[in-house]
Structure 1
């Protein structure tokens, strides 16, 4: 029961906070008679604010989440969502919509509190299951919201403004849940379990790494570093900001010395940057190809299908019998190239149904690869370093996205139209594919050179000396 109560509340919060029927039709709403904004104002002046806000708020919110022990930041996130949709209902003008995007950026940055709260109230053995519950709640909420919005438009013949009402009501329901969550007494960094502090004093806080320069060795980055080990009711030791920053820097150096982790993190950051751009600006592209003022649109069905197919792809990733240590870079290359093709098809063919199908395939491919990348990174990390590495990867992705937005989208930069933007994004994913093709070729050359050196020295090749690798453990839901 001690686990059931916060889990149910958190999942309910995740479901209703992501139940947003308006989201697939946001661009159509802003361009319609309710807001009467132009495409240039929406694409080049309003939407970029979310990217910049998310980037600027991510690290401060991460530290505040840990220092305040999660619950206050969850309340702040819920409040930000209510403010966002209340402004969408009542506010008018470009400046008001830019403030709206800032509040939504704050709510997005606060997702770290949602996904890390559960780790402070359950045992480490329950992390995987509870993470799966929380992630599933958000996915089902998102899919249900998209489907609800489409059915209200297509079947009930509702207006777009009515979708704002439903979305705001859902945010108001979600606002209630965080207030009743139990307040944790410990956290990853500022309020730590006593056993962790003792381990750091005895071991210097620097767990050893076995040959981090060896591309085939996975560093034991999870040795005695979990800041959340021990029962929830155990005492805590407060840590100052300077000490926390020092711990973060030391862990950062240790983690990214591991070359396999660095490779997966590089793909994570590069692909997530491009993925955010495609998802953020797909609606303006669809609106240009098939204006909602003149035709029926089916964005809700498309978002629902892409979310559900993405969830199925995430499940499929756990069943793939692939040797990721050998073929990972090549598969990242091939599937990144497939994503590039999807973007080019969306941009060049100018057919709404082809756009929809390419978008679904693009999101499904990304969900498959990001799940594999998540597992490959998380399998060798403690929960403390798990939060750090994924936070750093997300920050780098947002930094790249902000630069891309500033140059390509923002009216202060080139301010390109949406078709030219997608041409740039297609080239971007093609470059990612090229990077990992070179990485795979380099890995093969390094393997061949190492094998030749071993044979010349009269030794046994690593493949013959080592027993077969065990099957991959089950996928970590995230």
Structure 2
């Protein structure tokens, strides 16, 4: 690969990432839907419209995950860009509950196809540039989100611009993203289905025992097969493709079992799924809570400013993780429990306060802590996994989180379920994070004590009397060998 071959797709992807994330209307979505432009009630928005996003996301995520790799990313990125346009055209011109439910369905398509954005770059750059291009793509999204949030706040507070025109600006932004997606080069490979497509003909992976550098130029066939069947019949081609597809699925299942057989990865993934479920619920319905605490008719809202501050603070705490010298393999689970308890406290505070400013501060702290912890969890999980297995595990963790979120939505939010008020919902979300905190505080305490026992056993001189080290040895009988195998430092 030439040294400059990675620059063009990275620049185009960053352009796409900036304009698709720079959406100034989002911090004011709930006030827009409940305002004079749409005339929807807060109950309709909370219990009938917003839940559709969760259901659509869950239904679309798994097939999109497979299709993204099979189609080699670019078509799915284009599909996401088109879905963005559909969402904001409907927000501008469609009316009624049913139309907004369809809008939420297409937004579910937007979020489900986001996997293509971060997967694409790994198929067009060499592995030594993964870290650099990933930082570019993530940074540009952070900048775009901050610019969009600050811009919306300035336009609303100082310019007195209506929410309708914020959506017009957002439509223009996502349209630029959609156009830029066509300039992305089409990858020749992908992580799973096309990882060797440029090296050997499709279907011949099993037939070739020799390494790639000694493969023959053309297909190798048995002489009896050559006499009895033409080389390129549609039948044989279809069978080879089917066998190849089945082989990929079997490999994915094997990788799935391998990833989650490691207890350390299992526990971190458990927190990832549980916390992401709760985080998505809070972010999805926080504007409804803000409107309840301080109706927009009585107050100049600062939603955009709060989103910008929380994102920047979360990015700063995540960045600071890189400079900490902590044995996360030992103390990580205890940190997950402690900070999850703080998240629960923030949610309880937002639930019971009557001050919008206290509610804003609670949200900023909650979001910052989640971004800090998800950074630690991501690093710990990815540390010992290949890129393919990490991508699989990333997809599975988010699918589990979404499945849990769907259950939570059906139970407490949807009008066909309990249809609880927003205050009761956030009380449940606070209790949900309290349960996560208890689980990981117990698990973290056990890990720390077990590690201390192991350390004590290791420092005992070999000449010590056997009964003196018996206590430590007993501790080791229940040792989590995988978690304590390596004390990885960030």
Fold shared by both chains (TM-score > 0.5): yes
TM-score of the superposition, structure 2-length normalised?
0.85
Identify the range of structure 1 (137-146 vs 88-97) with the bigger mean alpha-carbon deviation.
137-146
Per the TM alignment, residue 472 of structure 1 is displaced from its structure 2 partner at its CA by: 3.0
Query: How far apart are the structure 2 equivalents of 1:12 and 1:49?
Result: 30
Instruction: Say which of 390, 415, 418 aligns to 2:422.
Output: 418
Instruction: Say which of 12, 19, 28 aligns to 2:31.
Output: 28
Indicate if the aligned counterparts of 2:329 and 2:487 stay in contact, CA closer than 8 A.
Answer: no
Instruction: Say which of 272, 275, 283 aligns to 2:276.
Output: 272
Name structure 1 gaps, 5 residues minimum.
205-228, 463-467, 474-478
Deviation digits for residues 260-294 of structure 1 (CA, Å, limit 9, x no counterpart)? 11111011000000000110110000001111122
Q: Give the match for residue 157 of structure 1.
A: 160
How has the CA–CA distance of structure 1 residues 150 and 125 changed in structure 2, closer, same or farther, with 3 Å as cutoff?
same
Q: Give the match for residue 6 of structure 2.
A: 3
Query: How far apart are the structure 1 equivalents of 2:357 and 2:445?
Result: 37
Instruction: Say which of 388, 391, 395 aligns to 1:387.
Output: 391
Q: Which structure 2 residues correspond to residues 115-130 of structure 1 after superposition, within 5 A?
A: 115-130=118-133
Matched, 1:136 2:153: no
Q: Give the match for residue 365 of structure 1.
A: 369
Query: How far apart are the structure 2 equivalents of 1:174 and 1:270?
Result: 32
Q: Give the match for residue 193 of structure 2.
A: 190
Q: Which structure 2 residues correspond to residues 277-426 of structure 1 after superposition, within 5 A?
A: 277-426=281-430
Indicate if the aligned counterparts of 2:328 and 2:487 stay in contact, CA closer than 8 A.
Answer: no
Instruction: Say which of 52, 55, 68 aligns to 2:55.
Output: 52
Matched, 1:96 2:96: no
How has the CA–CA distance of structure 1 residues 430 and 70 changed in structure 2, closer, same or farther, with 3 Å as cutoff?
same
Indicate if the aligned counterparts of 2:149 and 2:307 stay in contact, CA closer than 8 A.
Answer: yes
Q: Give the match for residue 489 of structure 2.
A: 472
Q: Give the match for residue 65 of structure 1.
A: 68
Indicate if the aligned counterparts of 2:92 and 2:168 stay in contact, CA closer than 8 A.
Answer: yes
Q: Which structure 2 residues correspond to residues 230-241 of structure 1 after superposition, within 5 A?
A: 240-241=244-245
Query: How far apart are the structure 1 equivalents of 2:58 and 2:13?
Result: 25
Deviation digits for residues 312-339 of structure 1 (CA, Å, limit 9, x no counterpart)? 1110111111111111111111100000
Query: How far apart are the structure 2 equivalents of 1:366 and 1:240?
Result: 40
Q: Secondary structure at the match of 1:293?
A: helix
Q: Which structure 2 residues correspond to residues 95-114 of structure 1 after superposition, within 5 A?
A: 95-114=98-117
Deviation digits for residues 230-275 of structure 1 (CA, Å, limit 9, x no counterpart)? 9xxxx9x977332221111100000100111111101100000000
Deviation digits for residues 43-72 of structure 1 (CA, Å, limit 9, x no counterpart)? 011001111111111111011111110000
Instruction: Say which of 247, 255, 261 aligns to 1:257.
Output: 261
Matched, 1:38 2:41: yes
Q: Secondary structure at the match of 2:306?
A: helix
Name structure 2 gaps, 5 residues minimum.
219-239, 461-465, 477-484
Query: How far apart are the structure 2 equivalents of 1:143 and 1:37?
Result: 28
Q: Give the match for residue 232 of structure 2.
A: none
Matched, 1:78 2:81: yes
Indicate if the aligned counterparts of 1:265 and 1:377 stay in contact, CA closer than 8 A.
Answer: yes
Query: How far apart are the structure 2 equivalents of 1:44 and 1:108?
Result: 20
Indicate if the aligned counterparts of 1:88 and 1:164 stay in contact, CA closer than 8 A.
Answer: yes
Q: Secondary structure at the match of 2:385?
A: coil
Query: How far apart are the structure 2 equivalents of 1:314 and 1:299?
Result: 22
Q: What count of residue pairs does the alignment treat as equivalent?
A: 440
Task: Kindly report the root-mean-square deviation, in angstroms, between the aligned alpha carbons of the 2 structures.
Answer: 2.9
Deviation digits for residues 333-360 of structure 1 (CA, Å, limit 9, x no counterpart)? 1100000000000110121000001100
Indicate if the aligned counterparts of 1:32 and 1:293 stay in contact, CA closer than 8 A.
Answer: no
Indicate if the aligned counterparts of 1:35 and 1:92 stay in contact, CA closer than 8 A.
Answer: yes
Q: Secondary structure at the match of 1:415?
A: coil
Query: How far apart are the structure 1 equivalents of 2:17 and 2:456?
Result: 54
Structure ID, larger Rg: 2
Instruction: Say which of 431, 434, 437 aligns to 2:438.
Output: 434
Query: How far apart are the structure 2 equivalents of 1:47 and 1:430?
Result: 25
Query: How far apart are the structure 2 equivalents of 1:167 and 1:335?
Result: 35
Q: Give the match for residue 218 of structure 1.
A: none
